[in-house]
């Protein structure tokens, strides 16, 4: 179905179910309970899950298939955001033109950077992409201030010369991004007993785009083009000896990956019409590398899982403070309670990066294939236990000779 094998279609179906039911799955604890702080089913975080999932899927097409490690992919994320905000300022608050412009401009930007960077491979390629990203950050932060807004970022204003649509609402406010009149910030709430679920328009728009992006990634992975990219990763020098020029394929993968990043940047601006230079900083590029490796580079669903895990820790684990820890350990004697809080506190709140670092090291050492490999090992262990428990039963049913 849809040109996919049964396995790939089932994978796409699983992603669709998880994404569509996310408001329920991410709010397992009742409102007002002590565990409600671990709920992640609010619109802003769910939007980040799918947007950075798109970012990681695109990066995985380059790194996972070709083995080319880019340290500058945040440049395309920032370019996409700036392009989308300028479209909002000049044309319309409809997100469709903004997203299209973000993808196109990011693709052109990736074509230029990729054409230069792909003249080298290995660490030299990585350093070149990092240099381009940092130059882009410096230009956006200080040099191109009239275009990018500089330190404060590019924002909408009441006097924007918008060609289509209104410039100011009846209440005198700046209009918000919408999809043919349907505002991205609109939400509906469903209360089921002590549980409260929020369904946000912007999230579901991003979710549908992510599913389309995931489907396109599957087609790329299974296509002859994807097989050529795997051959490049396996042994590019041997491929060149066959007479095939690998550079057009790597450049195409780089541009496609950059367009995915531009799409993610355009969606970020569509949810919150603000673009800042910090989206181009090297830490943002390093974050998508962590997402891909943590989930499983070269796998289809791995980058999405990695993006979700990192964004969950960034927005949930980082909010746990010492007061919450005292509530957790209140049942212990006073001295032991303080000791447990002192031990755990460095790993949460502002120290959540320490926990992420430990998890990342454990994955690299014990699960080189990321979370996907961990899931596969767990499934194989369950299957072996089932088969081993079934064998004695068969032996008991065997009649004596």
How would DSSP label each residue in 334-356? Answer: HHHHHHHHHHHGGGSGGGHHHHH
pLDDT score for 399: 58
pLDDT of amino acid 329:
85
Q: Quote the CA–CA distance of 140 and 74 in Å, as a whole number.
A: 13
Decide if 121 contacts 68 (C-beta within 8 A). Answer: yes
Residues (pLDDT < 70) of the chain are 1, 391-401
Distance, CA of 185 to chain centre: 20
Residue where the block lists tokens 């709430």: 189
pLDDT at 383: 87
pLDDT at 80: 95
Beta bridge partners of 196: 191
Strand partners, 187: 200
- d(Cα 284, Cα 295) in Å, to the nearest integer? 17
CA distance 55 to 310: 13
What's the pLDDT score for residue 348?
86
pLDDT for res 76:
96
Which of 222, 318, 271 is CA-nearest to residue 3? 222
CB 265 within 8 A of CB 332: no
Separation CA 100–CA 237 (nearest Å): 37
- Give the separation between CA 314 and CA 301, rounded to whole angstroms: 20
pLDDT at 81: 95
- What is the residue-wise DSSP string for 120-182? S-HHHHHHHHHHHHHHHHHIIIIITHHHH-GGG-EE--TT---SSS-SS-TTS-PPPPEETTE
Say how far apart CA 381 and CA 169 lie, in whole Å.
60
CA 166 to chain centre: 33
| Whole-number pLDDT of residue 393 | 58
**Residue linked to tokens 């990681």:** 56
pLDDT (0 to 100) of residue 396: 59
Model pLDDT, residue 31: 83
Q: Is 176 left (phi over 0), alpha (psi -120 to 50) or beta?
A: beta
Distance between CA atoms of 332 and 343, rounded to whole angstroms?
Answer: 14
Compute φ and ψ for 191, nearest 5 degrees: -105, 120
Q: Would the CA dihedral through 261, 262, 264, 265 be positive or negative?
A: positive
Give pLDDT, residue 238.
84
Q: Which residue has the tokens 């394929």?
A: 249
pTM here is: 0.91
Q: What is the DSSP string of 355-369?
A: HHHHHHHHHHHH-TT
Nearest to 261 by CA among 247, 279, 241, 277: 279
CA–CA gap between residue 32 and residue 46 (Å, rounded): 20
């Amino acid at each position: 179905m849809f040109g996919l094998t049964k396995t790939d279609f089932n994978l796409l179906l699983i992603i669709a179910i998880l994404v569509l039911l996310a408001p329920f799955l991410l709010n397992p604890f009742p409102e007002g309970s002590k565990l409600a702080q671990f709920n992640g089913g609010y619109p802003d975080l769910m939007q980040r899950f799918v947007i950075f999932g798109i970012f990681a899927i695109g990066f995985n097409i380059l790194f996972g298939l070709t083995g080319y490690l880019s340290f500058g992919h945040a440049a395309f994320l920032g370019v996409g955001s700036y392009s989308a905000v300028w479209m909002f300022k000049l044309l319309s608050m409809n997100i469709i033109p903004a997203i299209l412009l973000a993808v196109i401009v990011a693709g052109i930007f990736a074509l230029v950077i990729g054409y230069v960077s792909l003249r080298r491979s290995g660490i030299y390629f990585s350093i070149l992409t990092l240099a381009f990203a940092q130059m882009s950050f410096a230009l956006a932060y200080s040099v191109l201030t009239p275009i990018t807004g500089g330190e404060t970022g590019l924002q909408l204003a009441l006097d924007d010369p918008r060609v289509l649509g209104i410039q100011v609402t009846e209440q005198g406010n700046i209009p918000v991004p919408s999809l043919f009149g349907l505002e991205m910030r609109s939400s509906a709430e469903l209360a089921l007993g002590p549980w409260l679920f929020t369904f946000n328009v912007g999230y579901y728009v991003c979710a549908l785009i992510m599913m389309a992006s995931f489907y396109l990634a599957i087609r790329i992975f299974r296509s002859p083009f994807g097989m050529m990219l795997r051959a490049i990763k396996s042994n590019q020098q041997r491929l060149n000896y066959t007479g095939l020029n690998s550079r057009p394929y790597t450049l195409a993968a780089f541009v496609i990956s950059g367009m995915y990043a531009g799409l993610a940047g355009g969606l970020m601006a569509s949810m919150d019409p603000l673009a800042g230079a910090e989206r181009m900083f090297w830490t943002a590029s390093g974050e998508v590398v962590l997402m891909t490796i943590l989930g499983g580079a070269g796998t289809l669903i791995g980058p999405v899982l990695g993006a979700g895990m990192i964004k969950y820790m960034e927005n949930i684990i980082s909010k746990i403070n010492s007061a919450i820890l005292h509530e957790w350990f209140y049942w212990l004697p006073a001295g032991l309670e303080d000791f447990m809080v002192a031990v755990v506190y460095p790993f949460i709140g502002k120290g959540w990066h320490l926990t992420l670092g430990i998890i990342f090291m454990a994955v690299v050492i014990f699960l080189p294939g990321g979370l996907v490999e961990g899931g596969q090992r767990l499934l194989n262990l369950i299957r072996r236990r089932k088969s081993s428990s079934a064998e004695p039963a068969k032996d008991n049913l065997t009649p004596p000779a």
